Amino acid sequence: MPRGNISKSDFSYSFFYSIDNRMQLPFFLAKRFVAGEDLAQAVPKVKELNNKGISVTLDLLGENVTDRETADATTLEYRELLDGIRLEQLDATISIKLTMLGLDIDTEYSRENLGRLLDKARELDQFVRIDMEGSDYTQRTLDLFFDARKKYGRHVGIVIQAYLYRSREDVAALVQDGADVRLCKGAYNEPSSLVYKNMAEIRAVFKEYASELMKSTDNTRIATHDDHLIAWTKKYAEENSIPKEKFEFQMLYGLRLSTCEDLVKDGYRVRVYVPYGTMWLPYFSRRLRERKENIWFILTNMLKK
Ligand SMILES: Cc1cc2nc3c(=O)[nH]c(=O)nc-3n(C[C@H](O)[C@H](O)[C@H](O)COP(=O)(O)OP(=O)(O)OC[C@H]3O[C@@H](n4cnc5c(N)ncnc54)[C@H](O)[C@@H]3O)c2cc1C
């Protein structure tokens, strides 16, 4: 059963877009960034990271589900993933996308599905982070998050994208709430009316929001591979006597593992976001768009096959 459609706005590369609906690209292309096509394939990779002292966020790939049957099945699959984490004794939590739970179908319906998942998370003393998707979803995602926070407290967290102009106000509301926030730059192709495009500006607001969150909450997640921001975070924490247990660095599977290992050695908390599943194309295309060198990596691998 297909687990989602792919939005055109997600693609910079017409090559991928022209064949997206058939999803016929072979998995070996994605394996640098995606841990496997099912949980069984991802588990050994999670254990390997855990053995290095690195925690994991598991992400069952997919987005923009348009029928209830698929959204129901996905909700069930997420609940089973929480059971799987316990069974395998993984040091892992999960991340979800609300469009996988039916946000494109009906907001109330996705709220119910989120509730079903969070009931399970609370029962298992687990944690679910709601990833932030494109700007069409920002307000609804935050509304559903704040609503879920009232009922599920520390079992749910959210993501803020520093590139969005609106994030200053959202960060203030999240600080007030004491929320568990992952701060990232933002990965979607957004219009310049909504986002900063210039890297110096994005870094500046990233630092501003990170400092707001780090000084007022105990669980800021700094999600970046950017050496400049990593160094800044360490320095800011040191200068403001923020203990290493009170924040966490987060990176994506397949990127900068040695940096993660060095951070662990230096006593920092580190978590790697590990995606798996068959619906990897939108995620994979965002990773390529972020860094053109990755296209060479993929092409070289294609030629080796
Ligand atoms: C744990 C985690 C969760 C995230 N969740 C979300 C989310 O919910 N919503 C959302 O919009 N975005 C999310 N993102 C993506 C994020 O918004 C950025 O698009 C992405 O992290 C690239 O920005 P950067 O700061 O890491 O690095 P950049 O400024 O892009 O690059 C800095 C350096 O990092 C390395 N690097 C960065 N990206 C790549 C890459 N693709 N391939 C190879 N090397 C690379 C390179 O060395 C590069 O020079 C998440 C990122 C992380 C790490």
> Does residue 224 have its Cβ closer than 6 Å to ligand 1?
yes
Q: Whose CA is nearest to atom 41 of ligand 1?
A: 287
pLDDT at residue 289, as a whole number: 77
Convert the pLDDT of each residue in 202-241 to its tens digit.
999 999 999 999 999 999 999 999 999 999 999 999 999 9
103 versus 292: which is more confidently predicted?
Answer: 103
Task: Assess if residue 208 is contained within a domain.
Answer: yes
> Does residue 285 have its Cβ closer than 6 Å to ligand 1?
no
CATH number, position 285: 3.20.20.220
Q: Whose CA is nearest to atom 31 of ligand 1?
A: 226
Task: Assess if residue 63 is contained within a domain.
Answer: yes
124-147 average pLDDT score: 98
What is the distance between the alpha carbons of residues 156 and 139, in angstroms, rounded to a whole number? 17
pTM of the model: 0.89
> Does residue 289 have its Cβ closer than 6 Å to ligand 1?
no
User: Are the C-beta atoms of 158 and 130 separated by less than 8 Å?
Assistant: yes
> Does residue 287 have its Cβ closer than 6 Å to ligand 1?
yes
| Gap from CA of 187 to ligand 1 centroid (Å) | 7
| Gap from CA of 2 to ligand 1 centroid (Å) | 27
What is the distance between the alpha carbons of residues 89 and 275, in angstroms, rounded to a whole number? 18
* pLDDT over threshold 80, residue 29: no
| Gap from CA of 277 to ligand 1 centroid (Å) | 20
pLDDT at residue 280, as a whole number: 79
Task: Assess if residue 242 is contained within a domain.
Answer: yes
> Does residue 98 have its Cβ closer than 6 Å to ligand 1?
no
151 versus 286: which is more confidently predicted?
Answer: 151
What is the distance between the alpha carbons of residues 15 and 1, in angstroms, rounded to a whole number? 24
> Does residue 250 have its Cβ closer than 6 Å to ligand 1?
yes
- CA-nearest of 102, 169, 175 to 137 is 102
281 versus 113: which is more confidently predicted?
Answer: 113
Catalytic residues: 131, 182
pLDDT at residue 249, as a whole number: 98
216 versus 304: which is more confidently predicted?
Answer: 216
> Does residue 249 have its Cβ closer than 6 Å to ligand 1?
no
Q: Ligand 1 atom closest to Cα of 272?
A: 1
Query: Which residues constitute the domain of residue 59?
Result: 28-130+141-304
pLDDT at residue 287, as a whole number: 80
59-84 average pLDDT score: 93
Task: Assess if residue 2 is contained within a domain.
Answer: no
Half-sphere CA count of 139, side-chain side, radius 13 A: 2
What is the distance between the alpha carbons of residues 199 and 239, in angstroms, rounded to a whole number? 25
Count of domains for the chain = 1
**Positive or negative torsion for Cα 100, 101, 105, 110:** negative
Test site for ligand 1: of 10, 129, 252, 284, most ligand atoms within 8 A of the Cβ? 252
What does the mean pLDDT of the chain come to? Answer: 89
Q: How confident is the model at residue 303 (pLDDT cuts 50, 70, 90)?
A: low
| Gap from CA of 69 to ligand 1 centroid (Å) | 32
| Gap from CA of 88 to ligand 1 centroid (Å) | 28
Task: Assess if residue 4 is contained within a domain.
Answer: no
Task: Assess if residue 244 is contained within a domain.
Answer: yes
Convert the pLDDT of each residue in 228-283 to its tens digit.
999 999 999 999 999 999 999 999 999 999 999 999 999 999 999 999 998 878 78
Task: Assess if residue 32 is contained within a domain.
Answer: yes
* pLDDT over threshold 90, residue 301: no
Q: How confident is the model at residue 11 (pLDDT cuts 50, 70, 90)?
A: very low
Q: Ligand 1 atom closest to Cα of 57?
A: 1
Task: Assess if residue 15 is contained within a domain.
Answer: no
Convert the pLDDT of each residue in 157-179 to its tens digit.
999 999 999 999 999 999 999 99
Q: SS in 3 state form for the chain?
A: CCCCCCCHHHCCCHHHHHHHHHCCCCHHHCCCCCCCCCHHHHHHHHHHHHHCCCEEEEEECCCCCCCHHHHHHHHHHHHHHHHHHHHCCCCEEEEECHHHCCCCCCHHHHHHHHHHHHHHHHHCCCCEEECCCCHHHHHHHHHHHHHHHHHHHHHEEEEEECCECCHHHHHHHHHHHCCCEEEECCCCCCCCCCECCCHHHHHHHHHHHHHHHHHHCCCEEEECCCHHHHHHHHHHHHHCCCCHHHEEEEEECCCCHHHHHHHHHCCCEEEEEEEECCCCHHHHHHHHHHCCHHHHHHHHHHHHC
